[in-house]
Each structure stands twice: as structure tokens, then as C-alpha cells.
Amino acid sequence: MRLPTVQGSILLVHPTCGPTQPGDIDGLVRIQTYEALKEETKQEFPMFRWAYLPYSMKMAGPREAIQHMIIRKPGAHWDPEAKTLSSDFGNYGATHFIIGRDMAGTKSTIDGEDFYGPYDAQETGKKYSAELGVTVTHYENMVGRRRDRGYDDQQRLGKARSTGIYRRMLDDPRDAFG
């Protein structure tokens, strides 16, 4: 992993950890995974800060992305022109927020189809980014490559192939790369 660094910057890794939907990765497994990543990255990336957000996902797609931005946005800050403390209702001080593909998406209970489009949350987050004071960034889904144990963009591999790799990894992480 190679990241550009800005002097004095901090990266808050702030995963949501709460009750999950049937078929989702169990909360305890998520926390164990985050703890392993925290341990694995602490020497190379000392600017990472880890905190868990105890929150039950609402599966509200784009609206939930906005809620997550509000929860993590900057709070009070000094306004040098007015010489006053501006009080937002922010909590964690994040200036940027990553919205992944299909954030907080859900399937229809009638036909099993996705209720929201795969990039609806990203588009909605970008639409309200300036108003909320949080810059939205995004990334494409990354999946493992067996041949060299690297990663690739899911779009390049195709959904069926990458989903199969992902599911095998959940069943047995040692099998993810063959």
C-alpha cells in the first residue's frame, strides 16, 4: 500500500461496527479484521488512527451516506474574520470521506434486485459535499488476483469472477489467492 502523505495529516479509519443484516460479515469478525489491519499497518503508517463507530446500519443507501458524512464532519472551528468560534454539529473532524460502491445498499424484498444504484451514494455525497464541509472521495471495488497475490479493479475482472473470489475468501482466507 502506498499513500501520498501531507505533513501533519492523520487518517482516521472509522469503520461502522454494529448489528449486521443476515448474510453480512459478523460484527466480531469485522472487529478482529480491523484489529489485525491496525497491527499490520502501525509501523508503516503511524498517522493512521483507528476508532469504531457503534452504529447499526439502516441500509438507507444515499441518505445513509449523508448521515455518515454528518457524523464524521468537522465540528467547531475558529473563524478568523469574525473572531468567533463557529459551532457546527460535527463530531470527528473528518475533512474527507470515502464512499464505496453501493454504500448501505439493500435489496428489494419483492424481487431481490438492488434498491439503489451502485454509485447512488457516491453521487449524492458529492452533491452535498460543499454544504456539509466534507470532501467526498471514492474508490472502485478492489479484489484479489491469484496469479501474483495483488489487487485489481473489480470492473476489470468482471463482477461474477470477483464475487467468487470474495466469497471464497470469506469461507477460507487462505484460499482467496489459491
What is residue 160's predicted lDDT score, i.e. its pLDDT? 47
The DSSP secondary-structure symbol of 25 reads: P
- Pick the residue with more confidence: 155 or 3? 155
- Per residue in 20-58, pLDDT tens? 777 778 888 888 988 998 999 899 888 888 888 888 888
The DSSP secondary-structure symbol of 114 reads: B
Flag whether pLDDT at 178 surpasses 50.
no
In the chain, % of residues over pLDDT 90: 17
Task: Look up the pTM and report it.
Answer: 0.69
Lowest mean pLDDT among 25-29, 89-93, 130-134, 169-173: 169-173
Where are the domain boundaries for CATH 3.40.50.620 in the chain?
11-141
What is residue 13's predicted lDDT score, i.e. its pLDDT? 86
Secondary structure (DSSP) of 48-107: EEE--EE------HHHHHHHHHHHHS---EEETTTTEEE----SS--SEEEE-TTTT--B
What is residue 148's predicted lDDT score, i.e. its pLDDT? 76
What is residue 101's predicted lDDT score, i.e. its pLDDT? 79
What is residue 162's predicted lDDT score, i.e. its pLDDT? 45
The DSSP secondary-structure symbol of 74 reads: -
* Radius of gyration over every alpha carbon of the chain, rounded to an integer in angstroms: 18
Q: Is domain 11-141 classified as CATH 3.40.50.620?
A: yes
Flag whether pLDDT at 84 surpasses 60.
no
What is residue 89's predicted lDDT score, i.e. its pLDDT? 47
pLDDT-based confidence at residue 172 (cuts at 50, 70, 90): low
Flag whether pLDDT at 141 surpasses 60.
yes
Helix (H, G, I), strand (E, B) or coil at 31: helix
